[in-house]
Structure 1
Amino acid sequence: MPGKVADYLRTTELEGAERAALDQGMTVRRGQGYTLRVSAVPAVHRRLLARCQPLDGGQGLPAVPAQHKARREYENRVSALAP
């Protein structure tokens, strides 16, 4: 999970399984940012992805290009997971 997505999700209300997955993730430094390695079942990743929908700039909020790209990368990784 890209760091910008993880940072956003840490500021939102999450369910117990989602919060636990985020808290148990391992941070890996990547250049200027970081990646959070999260071990969870695909259903948890899909719920986390749904919760970071506002990063796309919906609901009257401006889209920040870096956040939009991070969400899109996470969406690509989640869609590649087996159901």
Structure 2
Amino acid sequence: MADLMPEHTAVGREDVPAPELPVILDVPGKVADFLRAAERDVLDHGVTARRGQGYTLRVSAVPSVHRGLLARCQSLDGAQGAPVVPTQRKARREYENRVDGLAATSGP
């Protein structure tokens, strides 16, 4: 096809990054509760799923948004002298593992 329309070839398009596509990740309820005040617009579109005693929030967003949410909840891990709640720390680490898994699966 490129030889029929040389003016529409992909020359110069290799350096243009592909747009990020939304991915669906389950955000643990304790992390979602912590983030809800700051990120209401993203989290309000999530779907709640009950899991035993707690819940998860299924959020569809581009990976950079998930990384931003993870960065906002760093204090749940006891950073900056904040009190540590073990269940919140565990929930944050579970979400971190899911976000880190995005990088592993979205390779070339």
On whether the aligned pair clears a TM of 0.5, the verdict is: yes
Match for residue 4 of structure 1 among 14, 22, 30 = 30
Please state how far the C-alpha of 1:21 moved relative to its aligned partner.
2.0
Q: Distance in 2 between matches of 1:22 and 1:5?
A: 11
Residue identity (%): 72
Please state how far the C-alpha of 1:2 moved relative to its aligned partner.
0.2
SS in 2 for 1:38: strand
Residue of structure 2 equivalent to 1:31: 52
Does 2:64 align with 1:58? no
Aligned pairs, number: 78
Q: Distance in 2 between matches of 1:55 and 1:67?
A: 6
Report Cα offsets for 1:33-74 as digits up to 9, x if no partner. Answer: 000000001000000000000000111111100000000000
More helix by share: 1
Higher relative contact order (CA 8 A, sep 6+): 1
Please state how far the C-alpha of 1:20 moved relative to its aligned partner.
2.4
Residue of structure 1 equivalent to 2:3: none
Over aligned residue pairs, what C-alpha RMSD do you find? 1.2
Q: Distance in 1 between matches of 2:87 and 2:51?
A: 15
Does 2:69 align with 1:48? yes
- The residue identity in structure 1 corresponding to 2:99 is V
Unaligned runs of 5+ in 2: 1-26
Q: Distance in 1 between matches of 2:92 and 2:57?
A: 13
Q: Distance in 2 between matches of 1:24 and 1:75?
A: 20
- The residue identity in structure 2 corresponding to 1:44 is V
Larger radius of gyration: 2
Q: Distance in 2 between matches of 1:24 and 1:59?
A: 30
